[in-house]
């Protein structure tokens, strides 16, 4: 039995809550109080952190990665569970001192009230420190943000933690945030389009489909046009950067979750009638109303690009280098009845925003 201080015990409890190994309710009181930060952590605590990360991250990925699915490997579709289609040495994640710094900050500060008192937010610091940010660091922050959001803690403060706020995975799992993106904001998906980062996106396809579908369905409860515009602008920026990155990396299969989202969304009867069910456009000029609808329909508009991918896939011959990838995309498109989903998406856009056609 390893012995740790009270501060270290709090830190370990918070970490395990983020990893889903203990209920988040046990960590909330610890996140809502301040504790004096120690000069360093004991060796016993560091070893327990390492053990928690090793077991917790594996569990998080295995919860989704157990499904037998097909994804690209060396340009060819390979079936099986995540660990069956990927060599063990390609699945390893590493963590840097940035993970420890984040955990120390969250344990020492009152994170729940951080936004209200305007104190300095944690960041990885200078450019040299940012260069040491690992996939493991990025993944832990994303898991932490999801755990805090699920506990209904105001996560606006998390957008001030850089460079995490520009991380592609963090952006993908937060499609329902109303933060107005800076003109220069463009999430970085580069670390997540090659192994082992792409394995996380493979395993999280169902999770991504759930959060994006929920974000779309929640639009029917938005009343303020400016709120819908902010949300849509951010979603459009995320999807543009993501689909660009998938295209460049030759990993269009990682956009499969969007097929699932739009297929399920467009399967709802009389979708245009309730897509923006509570939106109040009274007093808006026609042009402003069109701009609001255009922003709110970002996901359906981006689906047009997936249709373009389908047309391109149909033109790939069996002797072309992209044949394996094109066959997998055509299979995914057919599985989710992409042709009908695209048709219904276009009809919904035309019904809600005639000026877009």
Containing structural domain, residue 251: 178-357
pLDDT at residue 173 is higher than 80? yes
Residue 230 in any domain: the answer is yes
Is 122 within the bounds of a domain? no
Question: Is it true that the peptide bond before 196 is cis, omega within 30 degrees of 0?
Answer: yes
Q: Which residue has the higher pLDDT, 149 or 3?
A: 3
Residue 240, domain member (yes or no): yes
Number of domains the chain is built from: 1
Lowest mean pLDDT: which of 262-266, 285-289, 296-300?
Answer: 285-289
From CA 3, how far away is CA 47, in angstroms rounded? 11
Residue 62 has pLDDT above 90, yes or no: no
Does 42 fall in a domain?
no
CA quadruple 41, 46, 48, 49: dihedral sign:
positive
- Residues of the chain with pLDDT > 70: what percent? 89
pLDDT class for 353, splitting at 50, 70, 90? confident
- pTM flag (> 0.85): yes
| Residue 151 banded pLDDT, cuts 50, 70, 90 | confident
* Inside any domain, residue 88: no
Per-residue model confidence (pLDDT) at position 130: 56
Q: Which residues pair with 73 in a beta bridge?
A: 76
| Cα–Cα distance for residue pair 183/185, rounded to 1 Å | 6
For residue 60, being part of any structural domain is answered with no
Query: CA 119, CA 335: separation in Å to the nearest integer?
Result: 50
Q: Give the range among 139-153, 278-292, 305-319 with minimum mean pLDDT.
A: 139-153
**Is 343 contained in some domain?**
yes
CB atoms within 10 A of CB 12: 20
Q: How confident is the model at residue 64 (pLDDT cuts 50, 70, 90)?
A: confident
Q: Is there a domain that residue 227 lies in? A: yes
Answer yes or no: is pLDDT of 282 > 70: yes
């Amino acid at each position: 039995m390893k012995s740790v201080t009270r501060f270290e015990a709090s830190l370990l409890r918070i970490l395990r809550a983020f990893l889903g190994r203990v209920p988040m309710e046990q960590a909330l009181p610890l996140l809502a109080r301040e504790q004096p930060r120690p000069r360093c952590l004991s060796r016993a605590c560091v070893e327990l952190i390492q053990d928690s990360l090793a077991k917790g991250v594996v569990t998080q990925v295995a919860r989704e990665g157990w499904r037998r699915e097909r994804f690209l490997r060396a340009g060819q579709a390979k079936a099986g569970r995540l660990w069956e289609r990927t060599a063990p040495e390609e699945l390893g994640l590493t963590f840097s001192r940035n993970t420890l710094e984040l955990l120390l900050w969250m344990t020492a500060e009152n994170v729940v009230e951080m936004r209200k008192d305007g104190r300095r937010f944690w960041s990885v610091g200078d450019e040299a420190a940012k260069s040491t940010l690992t996939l493991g660091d990025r993944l832990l922050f994303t898991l932490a943000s999801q755990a805090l959001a699920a506990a209904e803690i105001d996560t606006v403060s998390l957008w001030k933690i850089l460079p995490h706020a520009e991380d592609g995975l963090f952006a993908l799992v937060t499609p329902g945030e109303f933060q107005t993106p800076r003109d220069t904001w463009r999430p970085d998906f580069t670390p997540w389009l090659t192994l082992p980062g792409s394995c996380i996106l493979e395993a999280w396809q169902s999770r991504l489909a759930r959060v994006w579908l929920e974000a779309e369905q929640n639009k029917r409860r938005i009343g303020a046009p400016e709120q819908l515009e902010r949300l849509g602008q951010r979603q459009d920026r995320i999807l543009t950067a993501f689909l660009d990155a998938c295209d460049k990396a030759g990993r269009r299969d990682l956009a499969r979750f969007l097929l699932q989202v739009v297929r399920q969304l467009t399967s709802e009867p009389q979708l245009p009638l309730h897509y923006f069910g509570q939106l109040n456009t009274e007093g808006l000029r026609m042009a402003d109303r069109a701009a609001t609808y255009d922003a709110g329909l970002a996901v359906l508009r981006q689906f047009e690009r997936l249709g373009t991918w389908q047309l391109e896939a149909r033109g790939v011959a069996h002797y072309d280098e992209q044949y394996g990838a094109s066959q997998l995309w055509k299979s995914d498109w057919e599985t989710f009845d992409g042709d009908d989903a695209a048709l219904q998406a276009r009809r919904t856009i035309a019904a809600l925003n005639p000026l877009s056609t």
